[in-house]
Amino acid sequence: MLRRIYAIFRARNLEFVRDRGSMSWNIVLPVALMFGLSFIFSSERAEYTVGVVQDAAEIDASVHPFLASRYIEFVPVDDLESGFRRVARHQLDLLVQFTPEARYWVNPDSPKGYFAEFALLEFDGLAGGALQKLEIEGEAVRYVDWVLPGILGMNVMFSSLFGVGYVVVRYRKNGFLKRLRATPLRAIEFVIAQVASRLLLILLITSFVYAGTKFFLGTRMDGSHLLLFVVLLAGSMSMIAMGLMVAARVTSEELAGGLLNMVTWPMMMLSGVWFSLEAASDWVRQLAGFFPLTHMLGAARAVMLDGAGFAVVLPALGTLLVMTAVFLACGALMFRWHPK
């Protein structure tokens, strides 16, 4: 069994590595995206952003005169932990709370926090208030740091779904799968070989891209590289399995392309590749929970930006493994060797 799996695994690797166009694209695309985004977002935000701790979705400017000041964007924050994290990352210049306690949090390392605090105290003085000052320390998280897991995840997603799904459909359409069917090779052996082959390539390429961005852009990593690798491994497996499931019966490359696009685009838009889902509506977040990319990105960002440990990302890892098992089982049950 292992010999047969290795034979298919090796042949698929050779096929991929020698296809210079595909190989280059898999490396060039994420690197180009990273550098492009780094350039585009190199300038800081022009306005000040202040979080207001409250349950309501709308800011009520009558609560405090500071909330009516111009050139400051006020965003509601219903979760203190989330607010603290954003202040620590310099994503919020200040976090204020007027009820039940009057207090605010500022990052002493944030230049914009320094000036926002001046404005707050000026308005508070006029209001006769006495806000309590609290400090939260933390280095700024650049957009490029935040988006790196998204870019890596997106690359994993495309490589998994198209790299496996499309190839299997092509093999089926041109009769190569049928030829394999006439040998002692079993479906599960073929599937394992495809998963292993693509997994190895994805891990190598993603590690290469990660190392490159780390070296050239100095991207942030607060957690363990080993844990990030485990997250990447689990995420890749789930998406490769998803690609195999999508391609299990399809015989037309056009249909496969349509189906894969139907899966990848919602994932790309709703899994938090480009922007955070924290402000998204509940139904969007619930829908995103069905996508493996969401769990992979959440765990990867927790490790990279918050220094999260194994216990924190365990639920995401568990979800990804369950998804892998479900997708693989469906793929194996539906698998067809050749066009009907």
Partner 1 sequence: MTIALEARKLVKQYPGVLAVDAVSFAVREGVCFGLLGPNGAGKTTTVEIMEGVTPASSGEVWYYGEPAGTRFREEAGIQFQNTALQDYITVRETLEMFQSLYDRRADLNSVIEQCSLGELLDRDNRKLSGGQRQRLLLAVALVNRPRLVFLDEPTTGLDPQARRNFWDLVKRIRADGTTVILTTHYMEEAQILCDEIAIMDGGRIVIQGSPGDLLRQHYKNTIIELPLEDFDGALQGIDHRIVESLGVIEIETDDVNASLRQLTAHTAALNRLRIRQPNLEDLFLDLTGHTLRA
CB of 336 to partner 1, least distance (A): 11
The Cα angle at residue 223 between residues 218 and 226, in degrees rounded to 5: 100
Any residues with CB less than 8 A from the CB of 279 and at least 6 apart, and which? 75
CB of 242 to partner 1, least distance (A): 23
CB of 328 to partner 1, least distance (A): 22
φ/ψ (deg, to 5) at 220: -80, 145
Give the span between the Cα atoms of 74 and 155, in whole angstroms: 34
Closer by beta carbon to partner 1, 18 or else 70: 18
Residue 226 has a CB neighbour count (10 Å cut-off) of 10
Closer by beta carbon to partner 1, 24 or else 286: 24
Closer by beta carbon to partner 1, 35 or else 176: 176
Strand partners, 96: 52, 104
CB of 179 to partner 1, least distance (A): 5
Closer by beta carbon to partner 1, 15 or else 135: 15
Residues of this chain that interact with partner 1 (CB under 8 A) are 3-4, 6-8, 10-12, 14-15, 18-19, 171, 174-176, 178-185, 337-338
Any residues with CB less than 8 A from the CB of 218 and at least 6 apart, and which? none
The token duo for 277 is: 């889902």
Tell me which residue of 216, 218, 198, 211 sits closest to 156, measured CA to CA.
198
Closer by beta carbon to partner 1, 179 or else 225: 179
Q: For residue 218, how many C-alpha atoms fall within 13 Å in the half-sphere facing its CB?
A: 3
Closer by beta carbon to partner 1, 4 or else 214: 4
Closer by beta carbon to partner 1, 5 or else 234: 5
Taken in order 4, 9, 12, 17, the sign of the CA dihedral is negative
Crossing angle of helices 187-217 and 225-246, rounded to 10°: 140
State the virtual CA torsion across 279, 285, 289, 293 in degrees, nearest 10.
-40
Closer by beta carbon to partner 1, 234 or else 256: 256
CB of 282 to partner 1, least distance (A): 47
Closer by beta carbon to partner 1, 15 or else 79: 15
| Cβ atoms 294, 288 nearer than 8 A | yes
- What's 161's DSSP letter? I
Element holding 48 (H helix, E strand): strand 48-53
Helix (H, G, I), strand (E, B) or coil at 225: helix
CB of 168 to partner 1, least distance (A): 13
CB of 219 to partner 1, least distance (A): 34
Task: Give me Rg for the CA atoms of the chain.
Answer: 24
Q: For residue 137, how many C-alpha atoms fall within 13 Å in the half-sphere facing its CB?
A: 0
CB of 28 to partner 1, least distance (A): 19
CB of 183 to partner 1, least distance (A): 4
